[in-house]
Amino acid sequence: MAKIIAVCRSEKKGTRKEAVAEGRLKENYGLSGDAHADLNTHRQVSLLAVESINKMRSLGLDIGPGDFAENLTTEGIELILLSLGTRLKVGEAAILEVSQIGKKCHSGCAIFRQVGKCVMPKEGVFARVIREGVVKPGDEVKVLEAEW
């Protein structure tokens, strides 16, 4: 079963995100209280697999959930293999739609400066919130079948 390991947010852009006990994903907005949440953008929520974080840990970094500025840290789902438009049910009610895979790493990335590489540009996934809901660590993440 794929699941959420951590829900993370920050009040300011450019800082690591702090883990919280739970968060509300707001429809067409993002994670309530997070600096990156915004109306009508395609990058409302960011996801990164703990398996990707572990790759960086193997290089000797002391890092964990939120250090890559991701909102949701997952386990047991290969996020980078998802197609654009894939819908994910997170927890009891929230539905996300994958809108971007990877991103350009900004020059100020502390992790890239430390070790010369970062997983977020290739393995980070972004999504829009299609249906709101509360999410918390331990919640199941399910890939929904296309409705065609």
Tens-digit pLDDT profile for residues 82-98: 999 999 999 999 999 99
The string of pLDDT tens digits covering residues 9-38 is 999 887 789 999 999 999 999 999 999 898
Q: Is residue 106 pLDDT above 60, yes or no? A: no
Q: What is the pTM of this model?
A: 0.89
Q: What is the 3-state secondary structure (H, E, C) of the chain?
A: CCEEEEEEECCCCCCCCEEECCEEEECCCEECCCCCCCCCCCCCEEEEEHHHHHHHHCCCCCCCCCCCCCCEEEECCCHHHCCCCCEEEECCCEEEEEEEECCCCCCCCHHHHHHCCCCHHHHCEEEEEEECEEECCCCEEEECCCCC
Task: Decide if 148 is inside a domain.
Answer: no
Query: How many domains would you assign to the chain?
Result: 1
For residue 108, give the CATH number of its domain: 2.40.33.20
Domain of residue 18, residue span: 3-143
